[in-house]
Every structure is written in C-alpha cells, then in structure tokens.
Structure 1
Amino acid sequence: MPKIQAPTVAEHRARQRRAILAAAREILAENGTQAPSLAEVGKRTGLARPSVYQYFRSREDLLNAVITDMFPEWSAYVTQQMDRATDPGGRVLAYVEANLHLVAQGEHAVMRGLASSASGTVLAEESRTLHHQLRTPLVAALADHGATDPDSAAELIQAVVYASSQMIENGTPEPAVVALTRELLCPYLRQQH
C-alpha cells in the first residue's frame, strides 16, 4: 500500500489529484495538440497507471477535469488584474496584459491542446463560460471609458489579444509584445470620449 504523503487520506488524495492535473497541463503545453495518456501523466507524477485510474476513469475524464480546473483560474487571474487598475483605461490594459501573461506562461498552448483533444461538449460549454466571464468586465471597462459601442470595441480589443498571443507563441518575448500593445492602445485609452 502506498505511503500517505499528507496528514489525512483526503488531503493526500487532493494533492495527488492536483499533481495529476498539473502533469496533464504540462504535457498539453509541451505537446500543443496531442493529449497525454494516463500512463504519461502517471509517469510524470511518479504514479503507476492503475493509480491514475483511481482518480480519472479515462483520458477524456482527465481532460474534462483539466478544462473545469483551468478556465476558472484563467478568468480569476484576469479579473484580479483588472480590479487592481484605478481607471477604465487601466482596466482594459490590465485585461490585455493579463491574457498575454497567461499565454506566455503556456496556458494558451494548454487550451489549444484541449481544443484538439477534449470532448467538444465540455470544452464548448466551459469556453462559452470563460469568454462570458472575461468579456463582461472588459465591456464594462470600455463603457466606463466612454466607448460608443463597448461590445464592438471589446471585439477589437480581443483581436489585439489574439494577434499578440500569436506573436508570443511564435517566439516574440512577452515584454516586447506588451510594449507593442501599449503603443497601439494607450493613445485611445488616454482619451475620454
């Protein structure tokens, strides 16, 4: 019987589950489009494949757990960064920079891997929830800033985030991309409409 590495069995199981999810995310970030097998995840965490099956019934079950674990964390991070800003323009910049930071940390690669490997139903539902959670404070910040059509302005900001994300994923350092997005967006965000 394996040795318990926590004060209680429940804490041990929670730690093991977190380790499995973290390993799956790492492998997805490294591979980009190939979902990890439970054996690969077990090897990464130091667990035998049968032990991984005690936590997840299948690869799809594991990927769905990664989705439901990851998306709220992404949303919470972006919202937290936006909440630190003191004015509407700063909240918009915080939105952009927080998303780019997560991309630079490999989270977007994990999302790409999930998109090519995970169940369409769970991924689509969680993606809609994430985009709604992210879009709502962005639209509000743009409205507070005075945008005449905050919904359309949010689409344009998202296009900048997407293009900037591609630059990071193609090797441009995060600070250089952030500087370019600031150069592009700051003139607009300094103006009150």
Structure 2
Amino acid sequence: MPKIQASTVAEHRATQRAALLEAARALLSQHPDQIPSLADVAEHAGLARSSVYSYFKSRADMFDALVTDTFPRWSAYVDKQMDSATTSGQKILTYVEANLQLVARGDHALARALAAIGGSETLASSSRLLHDSLEVPLRTALAEHGAAQPEYMAELIQSIVYTLSRMIENGLSLRAATGLARELLAPYVAQKAG
C-alpha cells in the first residue's frame, strides 16, 4: 500500500485528486489540440496509471471534474481584480483586462480544449454559470457607471473581450490588446457615473 503524504487519508486523497486535475490542466494548456489520456495525466502527476481510477471513473469523468474546478477559478480571478478598482469606470476596464490576462496565460485555450473534448452536461452547465457569474459584476459596474441598459452594454463589452481574445490567440501581445481595449473604452469609462 502506498504511503500517504498527509495527516489523514481524506487529505491525502484530496491532494492526489488535486494533483491529477492540475496535471490535466497543465497538459491541456501546453497542448490544447491534444486530449491527454488518463495514463498521460497520471505520469505528469507522478502517480501510477491505475491510481487514477481511484479518483475518476473515466477520462470524461476527470474532464468534467476539471471543468467544475477551472471555471470558478476564472470567475474568482476576475472578481478579485474588479474588487481592487475604486470607480465604476475602472471596474469596467479591469473586467476587460482581467479576462484578457487569463486568455494570454492560456486559460482560454484550456476552456476551448475542454469544450472540444465533448458536450457533457457538466461543461454546458459550468460554461453557462461562468458566463452568468462573470456578467453580474460587469452589469453592476455598468449600472453604477450610468448605463441605461447594463445588460446590453455588458454584451457589447463581452464582444470586445471575445474579439481581443481571438487576437491574442492569433499572436497579438497582451500589452497591445490591452492598449486597444483602453483606446476604445477610455472615452466611455472617463464619463462620470450616473
């Protein structure tokens, strides 16, 4: 029996499961066009292939768990960045920039890779929850800033994020993408709220 490396079996299992998810995340981020096998993930995590089945029933089960783990991280990162902004205009710009930072560091490629793996209900549900949770603080900032229809303005801001995300994935630097976002949005966010 392998030696546990935590104070309890439950902690050991949680650590091992997290290591497997992190290994899957790393492999997908490095090669989003290649879906790693359970054996690849186990090897990357430094675990025996057979031990993966103690945590996940199948590759699809593991990727569902990765979706459930990954999307809330994205939302939490954006929320944390927006919380550091002091004005509604800064919050709007920060929303865009935080999303672009995640794209530039590879998180969007991971999300696309997860989407390509399959159309599981977990992916669809988590994706809807991610987009909904991301739009709440954006809509709030837009309402505070005086947008007459924050839900529609949020869709416009999202279209900017999507377009710049695609540009980053095609080679545009984060700095250039952020500069374009600021150039486009600066007149709007410079307006006084209300």
TM-score by length of 1: 0.95
What residue is the counterpart of 1:151 in the other structure? Answer: 151
Deviation string, structure 1 residues 66-114 (Cα, Å, up to 9, x no partner): 0100111111111111111111111111111111111111110110001
Q: Does the 8 Å CA contact 1:95/1:138 hold for their aligned counterparts?
A: yes
Once the two structures are TM-superposed, the CA of residue 128 in structure 1 deviates from its matched residue by 0.8
The corresponding residue for 2:30 is: 30
8 Å CA contact 1:64–1:119 kept in 2: the answer is no
Report the AA paired with residue 171 of structure 1: G
Greater mean deviation of Cα atoms: 29-38 or 81-90: 29-38
Gaps of 5+ in 1: none
Q: Which residue of 2 aligns with 1:77?
A: 77
2:133 is matched with which residue?
133
Counterpart Cα distance in 2 of 1:161 and 1:112: 15
C-alpha separation in 2, matches of 1:71 and 1:166: 19
Aligned pairs for 1:152-171 (under 5 A) are: 152-171=152-171
Question: Given that residues 21 and 62 in structure 1 are in contact (C-alpha distance below 8 angstroms), is that contact kept between their aligned partners in structure 2?
Answer: yes
Q: Aligned equivalents of 1:160 and 1:81: distance in 2?
A: 18
Give the Å deviation of 1:135.
Answer: 0.6
Matched-pair identity in %: 56
Q: Distance in 1 between matches of 2:153 and 2:50?
A: 50
Q: Following TM superposition, by how much is the alpha carbon of 1:120 offset from its aligned partner in structure 2, in angstroms?
A: 2.6
Partner of 1:5: 5
Q: How many residues align?
A: 193
- 1:191 aligned residue: 191
In structure 1, how many angstroms separate the alpha carbons of the residues matched to 2:4 and 2:119?
A: 33
Aligned positions of 1:107-118 closer than 5 A: 107-118=107-118
Deviation at 1:166, TM superposition (A): 1.2
Moved over 6 A (4+): none
Give the alignment's TM-score, normalised by structure 2. Answer: 0.94
Please give the alpha-carbon distance, in whole angstroms, between the structure 1 residues aligned to 2:45 and 2:85.
38
Does structure 1 retain, via aligned residues, the 8 Å contact 2:64–2:122? Answer: yes
Measure how far apart 1:30 and its partner are: 2.1
SS in 2 for 1:42: helix
SS at match of 1:36: coil
d(CA) in 2 for partners of 1:151, 1:33:
34
Corresponding position of 1:20: 20
Gap runs ≥5 in structure 2: none
- Aligned-pair CA distance for 1:183: 1.2
The CA RMSD measured in Å over matched residues stands at: 1.3
For the residue of structure 2 that corresponds to 1:167, the secondary structure is helix
Aligned to 1:39: 39
Q: Distance in 1 between matches of 2:33 and 2:144?
A: 39
Q: C-alpha displacement at 1:119, in angstroms?
A: 3.9
